[in-house]
Chain A
Amino acid sequence: MFAYILRRLAGMIPLLIGITFISFIVIHLAPGDPVQFISSMNPKFSETAYEKFERMYDLDKPVHIRYANWLKKFATLDFGNSFSPDAKPVLEKISERLPVTIWLNVAGLVLVFFIALPLGALSAYYKDTLFDRGVTVFVFVGFAVPTFWLALLCMYYFGVQKGWIPISGLRSYNYDQLSTIGQIKDILWHATLPVVLSVFGGLAGLSRFARNSMLDVLKEEYITAARARGLSERKVVFRHALKNALLPVVTILGLSIPGLIGGSVIFESIFSIPGMGQLFYQSVLSRDYPVVMGVLVIGAVLTLLGNLIADIAYAGVDPRIRYGKKKSS
């Protein structure tokens, strides 16, 4: 297994280089560059300033040279400095924003798991009943309705009309003056709406997966055998079937990691949450190449690691799978 992991990690290096190369080229192909972003249609932007900024951002060099320079720095884990006036190191910018995004997404993911799995199992148990159909409709509504639209509706109803929860942001104005408990409560209160909505949107995939997995397991012979032994249906389903049906679900956890950043762009903009999604969106708009590359690389690394973790987890939960060993038969 250890050798397998090492091999996989080594294999990631050329893959990562390929991904960064394509990302670099694609973001440079998009019309407009950071200097054009600040100079376009701006009469106060002097011609000398244009050249000055081009030199500062290395835009006077061909793309392949810029990529080679970027790659050299990246090899030492230096993502460069942002093009925004504060010229902050990219990693510092990202590390300021990453915790919020991870915290909210992990909270959402955990809740999705805890709600979707029993929901899927119950749907399988009550297959084709009113309950099953109701759950199907419920989870697919969450899946199909555009999140931003639903978010605005909920913000308006629960925030403006009812005044029950805060509409946006992560902290109150007087956050610093609250007690520790008060601060925790304040953040949880602000996070309620975004987390609930992300959970609602994420239920469909996992609950359907759990339902189908459960239905597959219920067709297995050992389930028939258990039933033949006279065990109650409840015991058959929730003791014997459920445990096995949920094993493959573990792999989904690994595959969900890369979605953490991508899915945050809209959410963080609508709810004014100062996370990675918001940073990424603003950096793309201002063509802040180093930050965009930084976020993309982190996304790529998470995707690759996510796949690896999924594979490892799969081996962990399914004894039939062993990596790094040849089949004996």
Chain B
Amino acid sequence: MRRLLLLLSTALVISCSSQPESGDKKDSGSAQKKGGAEVSDKIEASGKAAEKPVDGGALINPTLADASGLIYNITSDSASHEVSNYIYNGLVEYDKNLEVKPDLAESWDVSEDQKSITFHLRKDVTWHDGEPFNADDVEFTYKFMIDNNTPTSYDADYRLVKQFEKLDNYTVRVSYDKPYAPALISWGMAVLPEHLLKGEDPAKSPLMREPVGTGPYVFEEWKTGESITLVANDEYFEGRPHIDRLIFRVIPDIATTFMELLNGAIDIMGLTPLQWTKQTDNAKFKEQYNKYTYLASSYTYIGYNLNNPMFKDKRVRQALTHATPKQKIVDGILFGLGRPATGPYKPGTIWHNPDVKTYPYDVEQAKALLAEAGWSDSDGDGIIDKDGKPFKFQLMTNQGNSVRIKIAETIQQHWKELGIDVEIRVLEWATFINEYIDNQKFDAVVMGWNIIHDPDIYDVWHSKNCAPKKLNFVCFQNEEADELIEQGRHELNPEKRKEYYHRFQEILAEEQPYTFLYIPDALVALSKRFKNVEPAPAGIAYNVEEWYIPAAEQKYHFTK
């Protein structure tokens, strides 16, 4: 479940937050777990060892904020999810190659009409308090999610369920009105203990502070604002994890987190490109830490307001993409730690179409396209114009993300060569989103999205979502694209789905509603004490339960 749950939690949120794309723990953490099916040639370093794993020791993991509660299903902050990921299981989860695999469900069958899924549950699972897990818990979780009194924001997928049937103690069936492709993975949501939560107000339940799950780690202690400690579950159905304790330390400041890493007080951290290239490139650091890099599950883009007459003509948008030095941005701002993007999917996954139309950096071509669209410097003031209106607009981004501000500055310089006058405006996050994005009051923006593993992109690209407070805020409207998105959404066969999304990317590449800039690398430093670390498309943290620390290198010893 750990590999899956972050999909629901961080979804597309974090990428738009004020953090650098590959800079902080939150981003890299989610990337480690969600990842896209990145080919492994980008992955460096390996802590794999040949000796026999031993139990003991602790992994100290920093989080930027304290958790707000430990019932996964009703929290939405990444700190809470990061901790509760290790406490609960879902029916399914992603494996290291980001394919759906059984978790609490032993197996599942999809009906011929693709409208029902029957889950066969494991019979050897017990809750941390010793009670057996069974279908009642799954049924309770489903009802919990759709209850109007449950303070959850993740009810959308469960409201699509037409019928939930408990066939026996270890079999449940869910049916939908029409096939819904993200349905299977939506059952990766944490399953909650019916015997402890039934009839309780979840927000006031003791489980918020002292959760009881079925996962590899058992809750031990929560020191408010300081740390949360989990201990290995001796009874875990997939075998006891080797590392005795996971300690999540609250360190709200990224600079302090980095110093604690240098000091050896924490064991893992997502680095910024600057920290990766300059501040950790020394013998002392390399002696203590392994560094892992793989393509993160996020991308940065320039989005154009397609309701703005200036950006209505696709030739203008194509020209702007031609005049955007993507590789220069990656090299100069990310120190080369990323790769230019052409669409919303991660290269290396089956959903990514590598053959779409590309726009190499070419100012002359850009100028020609603009001229074709009717833009020329008719009054000789250095700024191109059309129908008496100069090509002048605001490029907005959010405060606190130096990478995006640098991108905006780079673009401003390069588009000036085309005779375009770009004014940069940097706004506080909440103002930026609530006043400008939600109301579609912008010309162009530099922003980012996280790439979720399921390819459904209905929320961001379907024309129905071109409305205030919706996610298609650039207002991309294309009939064929809408149809493809809907077909993809209701098709469970990956090969067929792939065809729809590949064609969809061709349309995007032609239309250029976004100038897709780059996909950054996730940059993770992990103490060399940890063995059995096997980088995979899912990142490195997908198999924490299998990590171990050789007895001689165990730094922390606790008596229970």
Instruction: State whether these chains interact.
Output: yes
Name A residues whose Cβ lies closer than 8 Å to a Cβ of B.
Answer: 30-32, 36-46, 48-49, 52-53, 56, 84-87, 96-97, 152, 155-156, 159-160, 163, 166-171, 173-174, 177, 269-275, 278-279, 281-282, 286-287
Q: A272 near B250 (CB under 8 angstroms)? A: yes
CB-based nearest A residue for B10 = A42
Question: In the complex, what's the smallest C-beta–C-beta distance from A36 to chain B, in angstroms?
Answer: 6
Report the minimum CB–CB distance from A265 to chain B (whole Å). 10
- The answer to whether the Cβ of B271 comes within 8 Å of any Cβ in the partner chain is no
Q: Cα distance A155–B76 when bound, in Å?
A: 33
Interface string of B367-402 (1 = CB under 8 A from A): 000000000000000000000000000000000000
A163's contact among B8, B75, B250, B263, by CB below 8 Å, is which? B263
Least CB separation from B17: chain A residue:
A41
Given A30-B430, A96-B224, A173-B60, also A39-B153 (CB < 8 A): yes
The reply to whether A36 and B256 form a contact with Cβ atoms under 8 Å apart is no
Kindly provide the distance from the CB of A186 to the nearest chain B CB, expressed in whole angstroms. Answer: 13
Residues of A within 8 A of B263 (CB): 159-160, 163, 167
Q: Which residues of B contact A39 (CB under 8 A)?
A: 153
Report A-chain residues with C-beta under 8 Å of the C-beta of B11.
42-44
Among residues of B, the one whose C-beta sits closest to the C-beta of A155 is B259
A308 CA to B66 CA, complexed, in Å: 36
Closest to B247 in A: A173
Q: How far is the CB of B394 from chain A (nearest CB, A)?
A: 18
- How many whole Å from A46's CB to the nearest CB in chain B? 4
**Segment from B30-38, B92-100, B202-210 that makes contact with A:** B202-210
- Size range of the chain B interface in the assembly: 35 or more
The proximity string for B residues 505-528 relative to A, scoring 1 for CB distances below 8 Å and 0 otherwise, is: 000000000000000000000000
The yes or no answer to B13 lying at the interface (CB within 8 A) is yes
By a CB distance below 8 angstroms, the chain B residues around A170 are 226
Since A41-B437, A97-B225, A270-B256 are in contact, a sample of 12 more A-B pairs with Cβ atoms closer than 8 Å, ordered by chain A residue number, is A31-B430, A39-B153, A42-B153, A44-B154, A45-B76, A52-B148, A56-B151, A85-B68, A85-B75, A160-B263, A274-B226, A275-B225
For residue B364, give the distance in angstroms from its CB to the closest CB of chain A: 37
Cβ-neighbour of B153 out of A45, A166, A275, A287 (below 8 A): A45
Asked if residues B433 and A84 are in contact (CB atoms below 8 Å), the reply is: no
Residue numbers in A under 8 Å from B148 (CB-CB): 48, 52
Determine how close the nearest CB of chain B comes to the CB of A273; give it in whole angstroms. 8
How far does the alpha carbon of A155 sit from the alpha carbon of B208 in the complex, in Å? Answer: 35
- Cβ < 8 Å to A, chain B residues 141-156: 148, 151-156
Give CA–CA (A171, B265) in the complex, Å.
12
Given contacts A86-B69, A174-B558, contact A269 B156 (CB under 8 A): no
Chain A residue nearest to B201 (CB atoms) is A87
User: Count the A-B residue pairs with Cβ separation under 8 angstroms: how many?
Assistant: 162
Most buried by B among A38, A49, A96, A174: A49
Q: A166 CA to B226 CA in the complex, in Å? A: 15
Q: How far apart are B29's CB and chain A's nearest CB, in angstroms?
A: 17
Question: Which residues of chain B have C-beta atoms less than 8 A from A49's C-beta?
Answer: 152-156
Tell me which residues across on chain A come within 8 A of B438, comparing CB atoms.
40
The residues in B between 227 and 254 inclusive whose CB is less than 8 angstroms from any CB of A are 227, 247, 249-253
Given contacts A53-B151, A171-B226, A271-B256, whether A85 and B556 have CB atoms under 8 Å apart is no
Complexed CA–CA distance, A252 and B438 (Å)? 48
**How far is the CB of A169 from the nearest CB of chain B, in Å?**
7
Min CB distance A316 to B, Å, is: 38
Report yes or no: A85 in contact with B13, Cβ–Cβ below 8 A.
no
CB distance from B555 to the nearest CB of A (A): 9
Q: Find chain A residues with CB under 8 A from B434 CB.
A: 31-32, 36, 40
CB neighbours of A86 from chain B (8 A): 68-69, 203, 208-209
Known: A167-B259, A168-B251. A84 touches B69 (CB 8 A): yes
Query: A278 to B247, alpha carbons, bound, how many Å?
Result: 20
Q: Shortest distance in angstroms between A80's beta carbon and chain B's nearest beta carbon?
A: 13
Check B58 against A85 for contact (C-beta < 8 Å). no
| Residues on the B chain within 8 Å of A56, using CB | 151
Who on chain A is nearest to B430 by CB? A32
Chain B 413-432, CB within 8 Å of chain A: the 1/0 string? 00000000000000011110
Which residue on chain A has the smallest CB distance to residue B75? A85
What distance in Å separates the Cβ of B158 from its nearest Cβ neighbour in chain A? 9
List residues of chain B with CB within 8 A of the CB of A171: 223, 226
Question: Quick check: B159 and A279 within 8 Å, CB to CB?
Answer: no
Contact A152 B224 (CB under 8 A): no
Whole-angstrom distance between the Cβ of A51 and the nearest chain B Cβ = 10
| Chain B residues near A36 (CB-CB < 8 A) | 430, 433-434
The reply to whether the CB of B71 lies closer than 8 angstroms to some CB of chain A is yes
Q: Is the CB of A87 within 8 A of B203?
A: yes
Pick the contact of A85: B8, B208, B471 (CB < 8 A). Answer: B208
Which of B223, B429, B431, B471 is in CB contact (< 8 Å) with A43? B471
Query: Are A177 and B252 CB-contacts (below 8 A) given A44-B11, A278-B225?
Result: no
**A-side contacts of B556, CB under 8 Å:** 173-174
Q: Name the 10 nearest CB pairs between A and B, nearest first.
A: A274-B225, A32-B430, A43-B459, A46-B156, A87-B203, A85-B69, A84-B68, A49-B153, A31-B431, A86-B69
Q: How far is the CA of A48 from the CA of B153 in the complex (A)?
A: 8
Instruction: Give every chain A residue within 8 A of B75 (Cβ-Cβ).
Output: 85
Q: Point out the residues of chain A lying under 8 angstroms from B71, CB to CB.
A: 85
How far apart are the CA atoms of A163 and B260 in the complex, in Å?
11
Chain B contacts for A287, CB-based, 8 A? 430
**Interface contact B460-A43, CB-CB below 8 Å:** yes
Chain B residues numbered 31-85 whose CB sits less than 8 Å from any CB in chain A = 58, 60, 65-66, 68-69, 71, 74-77, 80
Shortest A285–chain B CB gap in Å is: 8
Contact B471 A41 (CB under 8 A): yes
Contact between A37 and B460 (Cβ–Cβ < 8 Å)? Answer: no
Give Cα distance in the complex from A302 to B459, angstroms.
Answer: 48
Contacts of A52 in B (CB 8 A): 148, 151
